[in-house]
Amino acid sequence: MAERQKPPTLSLEKRVKSFEEVKGTYPPHQAIAEAARCLFCHDAPCNKECPAGIDIVKFIRRIKTKDFRSAIRTVRESNVLAGVCARICPTEKLCEKPCSATELVKPINIAALQRFVTDLEMREGIKLPKKAAPTGKKVAVIGSGPASLAAAAELAKAGHGVTIFEVKSLPGGVLTYGIPSYRLPKDVVMAEIDFIKQLGVEIRTDTPLDEKLNIGALFGQGFDAIFIGAGVGRPYFVRMPGEDLNGVYSALEFLSQVNLYQSEEKKEFPLRVGKRALVIGGGNVAMDAACSLLRLGAEKVHIVCLESFEEMPAFPSEIEFAKEEGVEFHPRSKPLKILGDSNGMVSGFEGIGIRWKEPGNFSPSNAIPIEGTEFSLEVETVIEAIGQGSDPSLAPILSGVKTTERGLILVDEEIHMTSREGVFAGGDIVNGGDTVARAIGEGKKAAEGISNYLKSSIKGES
C-alpha cells in the first residue's frame, strides 16, 4: 500500500514568523495518489462520521477517475462551507476515525482531498446550484456563524427568503473572529459566504438582536420562522487575583483582535503582547492563542492547564503543532494568581501542580493542589482560554424559548425546534460548543425542520 500523501507545508522557520496559511493544497498527482489509496468501502464508514453529511466515498472516487467536476459538485451539494471544513475539521475524531485504510497504512487524508477539490473550485468560482421556486415564506436567522450560514443556505435553496441578523460588522462568527488565519485564511471564509449570499441570503451586519428587536418583534415584522445560531461567545475566567491587571485578556477577545489586525494592514496591534506570555487552558482555543502569540513576536509562550497531555481537550494534532513551534507546556497545573508591577501591568504568574481527586473528572473543583509544587513564571501577557458559554444578554431576546441552567437552548433533536413554535436553533448555542462541521450539520437539520414546518403551515392556510 502506498503511503499517506502529505500536502505541501510551510517550514517551521517560515511558519512561526507569519500568519500565512501553514498547510498547502495537494498538486493533482498527490490528490490522485491519495484518492487511489481509498478502498471504496461498501456502506463506507467515513460517510457516517461527517457531521455535514458529505458523500465522502463518492467524491473520492470522482477524484480517482479524474472527474473533478463531479467531485466538486458532490462536496458542494452537502456542505456550503466545504473549503472551511477542509482546513479546520478535526478529522481524527470525525471522518477519518473509522477509515478502513487505517489498519493498512494510515487513514485516507479526506480533508486534504476535500481541500484539493474546493481549491480547484475556488479558482473557477463556485457554481450556483438549482434553487426551488420561491415559497413566499420569510425566515430570520440570528448570528452568522457556520450553523446559521448552513441553515440560511439550505433555506434559500428551498426557495425561502432568508435574512441573517449579525451583531458584529463582519459575518462568519468564529470563522471570522476566532480561528486564526494561519489555519483558516479569511479569503476562503469570505468566498464561501459570498457564495451563500449569491444563493439569495441577505446578511445584515451590525444588527444585534436585543431587547427591542427580539423574537416577538421579528415575528411581528412578518418572519414565518426563526433560526438561532448565536454561538457561545461569553468567555469564562479563572477568577483569581490579578485578573484586572493590564495585559490579561480572554482568548476570544485576543483572537478577535488578531483577526481584525490581519484584515487591516500595518496597524499597530492594540493589545499588550510581551516578550514572554502565558496561555491558560488545554483546548484548541488555547493552542490557537499560544501559536498566534508567537506569530505576533512573543519569544517565549507557556501553556498552563489542569489536564495532562492525554487528558487535554485539544486535538492531538493541534497540541503537536504547538509543541513543534516551541510552546512550553505545564500540564496538570492550576493557576493561583497573576502578579503585577507598580504600573498595574502584568509581570508574572504563580501556579501549582495538581492531582485529581476522582479519576476521569477534569473539572477545576476536582483538582487537588500538590504541596511543594508551586512555580512561578515571568510573563507580561496572560491569556485565559478556559472555555466559553452562552451570553447572558441573550436571555431577554429569547422569550418563550426554554434553556438549560447554562443558557444553552433546548431543542427537539430531530427537527431542532425549540419550545417556542416556529423558533429553531443549532450549533454551539445548542450543543454547548463542539465543531464547525457539527454546527453545519445542525444548521442543515434545522433548515429541513423549518422547511417542513413552513410546508405544513402553507397547507394549513389553504
Residues at the interface with ligand SF4 (CB under 6 A): 38-41, 44-46, 50, 52, 54, 56-57, 60, 79, 85-86, 89, 91, 94-95, 99-101, 108, 110-111, 114, 437
Pick from 229, 340, 351, 441 the residue near ligand FAD by CB under 6 A.
Answer: 229
Q: Which stretch binds ligand FAD (CB under 6 A): 31-39, 125-133, 160-168, 362-370?
A: 160-168
Measured from the CB atom, is 143 or 242 closer to ligand FAD? Answer: 143
**Of 62, 191, 152, nearest in space to 114 by CA:** 62
Interface mask toward ligand FAD for 115-154; x: CB under 6 A: ---------------------------xxxxxxx------
To ligand SF4, the closest distance from the beta carbon of 322 in angstroms equals 21
Pick from 46, 436, 447, 454 the residue near ligand FAD by CB under 6 A.
Answer: 436
Which residues of this protein are in contact with another protein, per CB under 8 A? Answer: 1-2, 27-29, 32, 40, 42, 58, 61-62, 65-67, 69-70
Say how far apart CA 346 and CA 432 lie, in whole Å: 32
What stretches of 264-308 show up as alpha helix (H) in DSSP?
Answer: 284-295
**72, amino acid identity:** I
Cα–Cα distances (Å) from 211 to 54, 170, 393, 417, 453, in that order, read 38, 22, 9, 22, 26
Cα–Cα distances (Å) from 231 to 218, 228, 302, 428, in that order, read 19, 9, 28, 5
Cell 489536564 locates to: 307
Query: Which one of another protein, ligand FAD, ligand SF4, none interacts with residue 50, CB within 5 to 8 A by kind?
Result: ligand SF4
- Provide Rg for the chain, Cα atoms: 23
Q: What are phi and psi of 216, to 5 degrees?
A: -60, -45
**Beta strand pairing call for 375-377 and 346-356:** antiparallel
To another protein, the closest distance from the beta carbon of 77 in angstroms equals 12
Measured from the CB atom, is 145 or 274 closer to ligand FAD? Answer: 145
Query: Which one of ligand SF4, ligand FAD, another protein, none interacts with residue 1, CB within 5 to 8 A by kind?
Result: another protein
Three cell numbers, residue 193: 459566504
439 interacts with ligand FAD by CB under 6 A: yes
Answer yes or no: are the C-beta atoms of 321 and 182 closer than 8 Å. Answer: no
To ligand FAD, the closest distance from the beta carbon of 229 in angstroms equals 4
386 interacts with ligand FAD by CB under 6 A: no
Q: 206 by DSSP, 3-state: which?
A: coil
Each as own residue / partner, the long-range contacts of residues 219-222 (CB below 8 Å, 24 or more positions apart, any chain) are 219/422, 221/140, 222/138
To another protein, the closest distance from the beta carbon of 278 in angstroms equals 42
Measured from the CB atom, is 1 or 371 closer to another protein? Answer: 1
428 interacts with ligand FAD by CB under 6 A: yes
Measured from the CB atom, is 88 or 322 closer to ligand FAD? Answer: 88
| Bridge partners, 9 (sequence order) | 23
Three cell numbers, residue 97: 476515525
**116, amino acid identity:** F
Say how far apart CA 388 and CA 257 lie, in whole Å: 17
* Interface of this chain with ligand FAD, residues 168 to 187, rule: CB under 6 A: 168, 173-174, 178-179
| Bridge partners, 228 (sequence order) | 142, 425
247 interacts with ligand FAD by CB under 6 A: no
434 interacts with ligand FAD by CB under 6 A: yes
To another protein, the closest distance from the beta carbon of 1 in angstroms equals 6
Name the DSSP class of 269: P
To another protein, the closest distance from the beta carbon of 14 in angstroms equals 17
Pick from 54, 63, 152, 230 the residue near ligand FAD by CB under 6 A.
Answer: 230
Measured from the CB atom, is 67 or 253 closer to another protein? Answer: 67
Sheet bearing 381-384, strands edge to edge: 248-250, 381-384, 276-280, 300-304, 328-330
CA 246 to chain centre: 28
To ligand SF4, the closest distance from the beta carbon of 339 in angstroms equals 42
Query: Which one of ligand FAD, another protein, ligand SF4, none interacts with residue 140, CB within 5 to 8 A by kind?
Result: none
258 interacts with ligand FAD by CB under 6 A: no
To another protein, the closest distance from the beta carbon of 109 in angstroms equals 17
Q: What are phi and psi of 349, to 5 degrees?
A: -150, 145
